[in-house]
Every structure is written in structure tokens, then in C-alpha cells.
Structure 1
């Protein structure tokens, strides 16, 4: 039998003679290599507590770079952030080169939505005050849906170059007011124009709302069923429609620009599901009690209308999350105190709002389930997170030192206890075990949590905060888009559980101790200075729990940036109608309101 011919990869070449194979290293050299590797691993494990144990191998190969410059409006208290498309990278420090600066997703562009309000018109003071509340309601609802509300006045209309031509016409008051509104919009530019009684009343991922948030309006468009309630378009098309109207022979006999502008100038889109317009026609058809009150006392009628719209915004939220609320409660026996604020918020959100017409539905959703017809949706306290589109999740992310103190039932956390008696990243492991299993490390879990907190899908279905109260009452109202009824912080699970007197006393004592551990942990988190013993302990715990620490900083920064963005916008709009006045600040003011 012939032997197979060796392939060209097995044949000896002349190069093998010129460059012979290297001789294997002696056994002694191999032994030295093994010992060196062993010592290197030991060095990593027993490093100083202030030096984090590296979990991301890419850090070893990170090319030295300069720290990226701090961005404008990127700090709030101790929270720091850097907006970048690399926000889903597990550990922010590899990008920011700062331990305490979190990488957040770039802020979505908020397209402007305009409304017109003539604050110079002669009206009773009570009427103006009631209208101002409706304007505030309008601003809050559109802000929560991702837009930048702007209230225009006659001054913007007068700055439009077409205004001079407009002044030369004698028009009916109703048409004159309509054209002034269009002139103000045309001066500002591309965007959306809405009546201040037209509010978004639907889920955030509604088709029209998603389209409008993209900020691209190729055609001047109105929407079927809304009359003059909502338009979108580009500046050139807006001003072209005004100029067409001013040249129309029907100008003096009309009451609205829509009466005589050619249909090809303004296209008509289908009737939107997510916009509620409380104009005179809708009120007369669905809310006769409001119409009667407006006729008797306009200011009182407007106040009732504001209450009705607020209740419908809240009702729409409840009809969106029909399966209720999930307040994440990992380690319920030891860390119940961390869920108190979340439970109190969930209880307020699930409660039916007060309404002048309790059995009513929004004008765009007459098939809704009224609050008076349903029992409050449930509040569940799972130990882990699950993806469910009809459940609203409220999560409290504790600092790893806070969690360590609560789980150990002590204020005195030591290096020995952390390294010998605790697993790494216990909070993340607990809340993601259901969706990610038990085998993944903190690096994969933190990416999943970031997507849940700040991704487009997750952020519309949940609110995340830290144990240090970050959102105040106003933060939450602008987050949800409607005013919340005042309520006090309580412990619903203790008050409502069927416990005996002895069991109740034991539960109260446990909660009291947990509050002490929490208060002490918050002092540790505020400590500063290299020589401070509390700082060293905190840094040691952070080094042991890199992913849990990243989660805590990420959520803290995400909520802080949301507040900074809104505060900056409020300062810019403070001089105009519908601005906030005399609102309280902080959780204390919220829970103390009566």
C-alpha cells in the first residue's frame, strides 16, 4: 500500500534548515512562569481596599488618553455625567477616566411644541389665574411626552415680517386672533402648534407621538377630528399659508384660516388616537356639567376643566398599565426600608384621581375603563425585575454600602466581613436573576440594567431612583405628565398585613433599626476627605462591588440630569404664561403637604 503524499503544509522546506525550530524552554523556566502568574493573581485579590479589583480585562489594554472635557450642565450635587453613545459600556470610568462620572445616553432632542396665549387681553384676574393653571397643565403633559413646550404671545406675531401686511386688513375678531396665532408660529419656525386645550393622552410609544418627536414635518399638516387643535409643519410652509390667506377674497367673511386656505396647502392626517382636545364641541358632547359651569362662572368652569383633564391624564396612565405596579423588593426581610418611598409613590399612582365627572373618559378614548368602574390596580413586590409592557416598575437602587449594612444588621462594616462573607454585586444579581440567570457576572448585568433604566422601551415603563431621595414632587409630576394628589410617607405593607399585636411590634422594631442603618449609610455616602475613615470603608465596599456601584451612580446621574434639563427649560420660560410659581422642593415638602 502506497503511503499518502504529504501535503505542502507537512513538507520540509529549505527555510527549516536555515531557521531551525526553537528549543522548548527548560522545566525550570516554566516553573518560574507559573509562580509569577500565581503571585500576580494573589496581588489582585489582596490589593489595598482603595484599589478596585478589575473585572473588565479591557482595562489592562486601555491606551492612555486625555480625560474628555466636562460637558455643560453635567453636574448636580455629587452626581456627574457625560453624555455619549457609548453609554452601554459596562463601566463608565473607562470612558470618562473619572470614577464618579457616569456615561449616560445622549439627551434626546426635544422638538418644540408651541401654543398661543394672549396675556394682554382684558380678562378678570380669576379667569387669568384659571387659564394659567391650564397652561401649566399643558406644559407639563407635553414635557412628559418628550417635547419642549413654548407659549407664544402677540410679541412673536409682531416680529413676523408678514405682520405689516396683516395690519392693513380689517378682520373679524375671531379670524384676527387665529391669524395672530399663526403669525407667532411662523415667526418661531418649524415645529408643532397646539391649542392649549389639546394635550397628549396616550402611551409614549403611540405612532403619532413617536412621529412628532422625530421633529421632521415635510408637509404642513392638520389632523382629522381636531379642527384647529393641532398642526405640524416647516416655517416656509407656515408663512406661505398665512400669505395665501391674506390674499384670499373670502378673507373678511371668514372666522378661521382653515375656512379659505386651499386643501392642497394643508394636508389632513388621520384622526389621532393619542391627542385629547377639550374644545367647546367636545365639552358640549361629553361633559355637559363643565359646559354649564363655564357659562355660569368662567373661572370656576376652567378650574373644573383643569381638574377633569388632570384626572383623564392619570386615568390614561392607569389604563396603559392595567396589570399594576411592581415595586422591586430584593432582600425583603432585611431591606424593607429601601422600598418605602417606592411603595408610597405606587400607592398614589394607583389611586383614582378626584374628578368633577368620575365616570367620564377622555374625548379621544371614550371606550376607556373609568376609574369609578375598576378596583385599584395591584402593587406587587417581586424580588426581581421582569419585562412586562402592562406593568409599571419602580426600582430603588441602593449604594452597596447601604445594602451591606442592612443585610449585616450593623453600622460597622469591615473589610474582613465584605471580602470573606459577601458575594460581589448582590443587588444586581438578585434583581436580574429571573431574566439573566445565575451564571453571568456583574459586567453583563449592568449593561442590561442600564438599558432598562435609560432605554426607550424601559424608561417609558419604569422609574428608578436611589435610596437618597433624588426626585421631588415636581420632578415626578413632570416625569408622569400630571399632578399627583398629596400623600404622606407610610409603610403600607406593615399597616395592612394581618399581624398580631406582638408581630406588629416586632416588625416596627425591625423597621426602626433599618431606618437607623439607612441614616448612618447616608452619612457615610456624604463623607469626604482622604483621611476620613468612613471614606476608606465606602471605597473598599465600592471596589468589591463594581457593578452595583456603577448601577447606583448611573441611576443617580440619570435622575439628576432629567431634573437639570427641566430646570434649565423652566428658567428660560419663567417669564411667560403657565410658569411654575411657589412650588415646594424636596421629598419632605411633598410628603408633608396637606
Structure 2
């Protein structure tokens, strides 16, 4: 007789036979096949992403099933083959996702430059030497205020005559000093809200000084003067300016007074504390601090004005050196193979660190008598780190190379192949090297390029560094308007191998390396200029760009940022070319009368 099966084998399932059973998990073999298919699909996607035949714009997956129109091109948004689009989305990692153009960079919107006015009577009787010297000082004044984020405008008597209050003014017989002050205020009142400065009052302090920051906002709710500056600086809006003029013209003391402000109620003009960042080289300051200049002005005015211009330039440069007291950092990643990329930056740093000549060598600016004069300090150091370090006392100069240029230099050959790039190089090598110290090794290229954009164009970073590309580097004039003072001429020269340490054989090897780097850099610049789609060089360049999307984005961003800076300044210079203080020419009396309405419209932002 057979025994019944053990109970555990005869136990019924806890799931009712009438309920729906759950699907069984896939057998191990089926799961393996599924995983293999998924991995193969990912591998194919990666190959497609890195394919040189696929444009960068497709790598970013810009094209969806629904077509999208490109944003319309903005006015003044090109310079040569460099293109940009100003938008608040500028910190998007890749510009092409916004512009739908592979080579158009998204830049931060241009900050509004509030107008700062000064008055200069070009028709006054003066000798030619004096006019030339004054024009030099006006140019210096324009350049210094432009570098601090303002739009300098030099006014003359025609602006004053366009003020409706001029008719009431001209019937009075005033003291010469008061008459000159009235004409100055009438010209300011005609132009409207803004800042009025004497052309011997210049900004001399850090970019983030609290007064300069306030003035850059362009909103002046109260008519204000500043303690210790006398007639050197005012700010206010149009109605308040003209109200003060009207009140002064009605004063019974009008024809006996020498100052416009003595004719109005004290409450009409607010008085703020003496600013730290404005230097006013008036007669009182010169007599107190620069007796040599005062003597020269008394002996021969033109020569004295030329010396004063040299003194102010030296003080602007000295203020820069005192702000960045720990010197300069010229970024040099991959210095052994790509040192040639930094030659321009090193030459510039060497010029910036050198103390400028001065007619009063041991002097300080009138607003900063506690400065460290150039004669008392050694030139600040120029360091050559491989990575960026955030410091408010170090000025950084970085050269962003195109990925093809860097690949050619690091490989020490002109011909770059797809096989070499894909198998022998990591992606975005330059950005990784520059940001690895701050961001670590695990961060991707998209995050790195956003960080660099903030360093280059953010409010904090743009005043503490200069970022350029290998082609083209900024010219001398661009640099002077960037820094706000005249620079000594300098030539970009490669390092001399004979000055390097080591044996004769090592120096000869260094000379060969330097010669090779020069040759490779020249070839890379030619490759970057090639635009024909069917050219092998163009295809190679596109392949390298596709492999290094973040490095390419950084190069295009910096190139466009510097180009836009030049376009903005050139437009302003063109508008102001006919007036005193311009780079070329000088206003000649009434010859520019009919151009002034166009100029006023431009200042007010009308087309």
C-alpha cells in the first residue's frame, strides 16, 4: 500500500484558481537578451553622437518633430565671422539650443550705460597747443569713464542754447565764472537725466565701489552733489536740473554772485559724503599735492596740461595695481606643448605690472593719499597656474584656444585624424584642466562651460579678468578702453630659449619645440579660417568641435564677448567722432551744430 505524499507537496496554492495570476518574470536567458539589446542601442547612440558627419547642432538634439524658427538676428550682432545673440538665457550650456545656429553665441544682455556728461567750450579763444593738450585730457576722461561702464558725452555751448531756459539766461549780465557755470548746467538740463562731471574728475577706484555701482544704475531720484568735489560731480534727473536753473535765474543776487548753487535753497541739492572712487584734479588739489604741476601750468599752460594728463594716467594705472596687489595669473594649462598660446597674455601682463612714468613719481591720487606709490613697491608677480583660482586681489588673463588648435599643439602635428581624436584624446580637455581644481573631476562639460561663462561675463568676474582667444587677440586700443588708461606699446614676443635653465642640448631642444609650436599655431589659424563645406580641413575642424562641444562653446563665447565689446565701443566712437575728445579729430566750433539732434536721439536710445 502506497503512502500518501508528504503534506508540503500536497499543499494547495494560496491564490484562488478563479483569480487572475500575475505574469511570471522573464527567465534569465530572456533578461540577458533584453539587456544586450539595451546596451547595443546605447552604444549605437554614442557612435552617432560622435560621428564627424553629424553637425554639432544635431549633436545637441535641437531638431524636434515640430519645426522651430530661429530668433531674428539683432542689430550690431556680428563682427567678421563672429556672431552673437544677447539674451537672459546666456548661462544655458550650449548657445545653439537657443539660437538654432551652430556658430552664434548667446551673450548676456548689454548693460545699459548711463550717460555721463562734461562741458567743453571748443569755440573759446585758445592756442593750438593748449587745445591739443585739452583734447588729450578729454580723451583720457572719456576712456576712464567708459571702462567703468558709463557712456561719456562731451557737451558744448550749442546744447546750452537748445535749452528753452537759455533765452531767459542771456538777458542777464553775469560774472564770467557764473556765466560759464550757467552754460554748463543749461547744456546738462537740455540733455536730461544723467551725471555731470568736470573733465578733470575721473573714476579712480575698484569697479565694485559703492558709488560707481549706484551711478551705473542710471536712476537719480535726487539732484545730488558730493562733498569735497565742489563742481566736480553732480547727478540728477532732468526736471530737477532745470528747476534749479529756473530758481537761480529768479534770484535777486543773480548778477552779483559767482556760484549758481549760492542762488538756490540748500534743500534743492542733496549733499552726499565725499566719495572714495572719484579723483578731481582741480586747482586746489594740484596746489596741495602736485606743486610741480601747478608751477608748469603757471609757466606754460599747454605743457602743464600735458604733464597733468601724464600724471592722471599714471594714477589710473597705479590704482589698478593697488587693486590687484597680489599680481597676475596667466593661465597656462598644458604649458609644455601649448606655451605659445599664452605669449600675448604674458606680454600684456608684463606691461600691466610695470609702473608707468609720472611727472611726480612718488605721488598718489588726490582721493587715495594712502596708496602705495609705484616707487615704493616691486612690480607685482606674474604667476602661470594651470587652473583658475577665484581671488579678488589677482587679475586673471586667460587664453581660450579652439579645440583644433589645442589638439594640434598637444599632438605636435598638423594633420589631425578622427581615429586620433576618438581614441587618444579626452573630451573638453582645456575646460577640464582650467576648472578641475574648483569643480573636481566628476563634473561634465556642460557644467564646466556654464562656470566659465560666469567667470568671463558675470558682474563679479568681468572686472577681475580678461579672456581672449588665440585668433584674433585684442588690439592695443581695445585693451586701453578695457582697462581705462593708456598702455605702453608692447610687442608679443616668444620666450627666448637661450634664457631658459638647463644644458645647451636642452636649450636647443626647447628652441625646436618653440619653432614647432609657432608653425602648428599658424597652421591651426589657417584651418579655422577655412569655410568651404567640401574642404577636408573644414570637415576635420567640425569633427574636433563635435568631440569637444564644451571647449568649442567656451571658445565661441569668449570670442563673441570680446568682439561685441569692440562693436559697442566703435558705434559710440562713431557717434562722438565729430566732438571734442574723440580719438580722431576735434570739434571745430559750430561745424557740428546740425549733428547734435542725431546725437541726442542716440543717447536717449531712439533710432
Q: In 2, Cα distance between the equivalents of 1:180 and 1:331? A: 60
Partner in structure 2 of residue 437 of structure 1: 440
Q: In 1, Cα distance between the equivalents of 2:374 and 2:304? A: 22
Q: How does 1:91-130 map to 2 (within 5 A)?
A: 91-130=94-133
**Contact 2:248–2:260 (Cα < 8 Å) also in 1:** yes
Partner in structure 2 of residue 459 of structure 1: 462
Partner in structure 2 of residue 233 of structure 1: 236
Partner in structure 1 of residue 179 of structure 2: 176
Q: 1:443 to 1:280 in 2, by over 3 A?
A: same
Q: String of CA shifts for 1:334-377, please: whole Å, max 9, x gaps.
A: 00000000000000000000110110000000000000110000
Bigger shift: 54-63 or 283-292? Answer: 54-63
Q: How does 1:423-572 map to 2 (within 5 A)?
A: 423-492=426-495, 494=497, 497-572=500-575
Q: In 2, Cα distance between the equivalents of 1:500 and 1:312? A: 44
Partner in structure 2 of residue 41 of structure 1: 42
* Displacement of 1:32: 6.6
Q: In 2, Cα distance between the equivalents of 1:195 and 1:292? A: 22
**Contact 2:93–2:447 (Cα < 8 Å) also in 1:** yes
Q: Give the secondary structure class of the aligned counterpart of 1:439.
A: coil
Q: 1:130 to 1:405 in 2, by over 3 A?
A: same
Partner in structure 2 of residue 591 of structure 1: none
**Are 1:266 and 2:269 counterparts?**
yes
Q: Give the one of 346, 350, 363 matched to 1:360.
A: 363
Partner in structure 2 of residue 587 of structure 1: none
Q: Give the one of 215, 218, 221 matched to 1:215.
A: 218
* Displacement of 1:148: 0.3
Partner in structure 1 of residue 603 of structure 2: none
**Contact 2:59–2:546 (Cα < 8 Å) also in 1:** no
Q: In 1, Cα distance between the equivalents of 2:527 and 2:144? A: 38
Q: 1:62 to 1:222 in 2, by over 3 A?
A: farther
Q: How does 1:54-93 map to 2 (within 5 A)?
A: 64-93=67-96
* Unaligned ranges ≥5, structure 1: 1-11, 583-594
Bigger shift: 482-491 or 188-197? Answer: 482-491
Q: In 2, Cα distance between the equivalents of 1:193 and 1:63? A: 53
* Unaligned ranges ≥5, structure 2: 1-14, 586-607
**Contact 2:56–2:545 (Cα < 8 Å) also in 1:** no
* Displacement of 1:39: 3.6
Normalised to the residue count of structure 1, the TM-score between the two structures is 0.92
**Are 1:299 and 2:302 counterparts?**
yes
Partner in structure 1 of residue 336 of structure 2: 333
**Are 1:378 and 2:373 counterparts?**
no
Bigger shift: 98-107 or 43-52? Answer: 43-52
**Contact 1:147–1:213 (Cα < 8 Å) also in 2:** yes
* Displacement of 1:57: 8.0
* Displacement of 1:506: 2.2
Q: String of CA shifts for 1:232-280, please: whole Å, max 9, x gaps.
A: 0000000000011111111111222122221100110000000000000
**Contact 2:455–2:462 (Cα < 8 Å) also in 1:** yes
Q: String of CA shifts for 1:531-561, please: whole Å, max 9, x gaps.
A: 1000000000000000000000000000000
Q: Give the one of 406, 411, 428 matched to 1:403.
A: 406
Q: In 2, Cα distance between the equivalents of 1:166 and 1:22? A: 98
Q: Give the secondary structure class of the aligned counterpart of 2:154.
A: strand
Q: In 2, Cα distance between the equivalents of 1:215 and 1:254? A: 32
**Contact 1:52–1:544 (Cα < 8 Å) also in 2:** no
* Displacement of 1:25: 7.5
**Contact 1:344–1:492 (Cα < 8 Å) also in 2:** no
Q: Give the secondary structure class of the aligned counterpart of 2:561.
A: helix
**Are 1:50 and 2:53 counterparts?**
yes
Larger radius of gyration: 2
Q: In 2, Cα distance between the equivalents of 1:359 and 1:80? A: 46
Partner in structure 1 of residue 593 of structure 2: none
**Contact 1:470–1:560 (Cα < 8 Å) also in 2:** no
**Contact 1:307–1:356 (Cα < 8 Å) also in 2:** yes
Partner in structure 1 of residue 350 of structure 2: 347
**Contact 2:146–2:152 (Cα < 8 Å) also in 1:** yes
**Contact 1:116–1:153 (Cα < 8 Å) also in 2:** yes
**Are 1:157 and 2:160 counterparts?**
yes
Q: In 2, Cα distance between the equivalents of 1:145 and 1:303? A: 23
Q: String of CA shifts for 1:85-105, please: whole Å, max 9, x gaps.
A: 110010000000001000000
Normalised to the residue count of structure 2, the TM-score between the two structures is 0.90
* Displacement of 1:529: 1.1
Q: 1:53 to 1:275 in 2, by over 3 A?
A: closer
**Are 1:255 and 2:278 counterparts?**
no
Partner in structure 1 of residue 415 of structure 2: 412
Q: String of CA shifts for 1:191-226, please: whole Å, max 9, x gaps.
A: 000000000000000000000000110000000000
Q: 1:22 to 1:108 in 2, by over 3 A?
A: farther
* Displacement of 1:33: 5.1
Q: 1:271 to 1:331 in 2, by over 3 A?
A: same
**Contact 2:400–2:555 (Cα < 8 Å) also in 1:** yes
**Contact 1:49–1:543 (Cα < 8 Å) also in 2:** yes
Question: What is the aligned residue count?
Answer: 567
Q: In 1, Cα distance between the equivalents of 2:212 and 2:506? A: 50
Partner in structure 1 of residue 151 of structure 2: 148
**Contact 1:44–1:53 (Cα < 8 Å) also in 2:** no
Q: In 2, Cα distance between the equivalents of 1:435 and 1:494? A: 33
* Displacement of 1:21: 7.0
Q: String of CA shifts for 1:109-158, please: whole Å, max 9, x gaps.
A: 00000000000111000000000000000000000000000000100000
**Contact 1:50–1:543 (Cα < 8 Å) also in 2:** no
Q: In 2, Cα distance between the equivalents of 1:58 and 1:485? A: 48
Q: Give the secondary structure class of the aligned counterpart of 2:388.
A: coil
Q: In 2, Cα distance between the equivalents of 1:113 and 1:171? A: 27
Q: String of CA shifts for 1:546-589, please: whole Å, max 9, x gaps.
A: 0000000000000000000000000011010000128xxxxxxx
* Displacement of 1:490: 2.1
Partner in structure 2 of residue 590 of structure 1: none
* Displacement of 1:34: 4.0
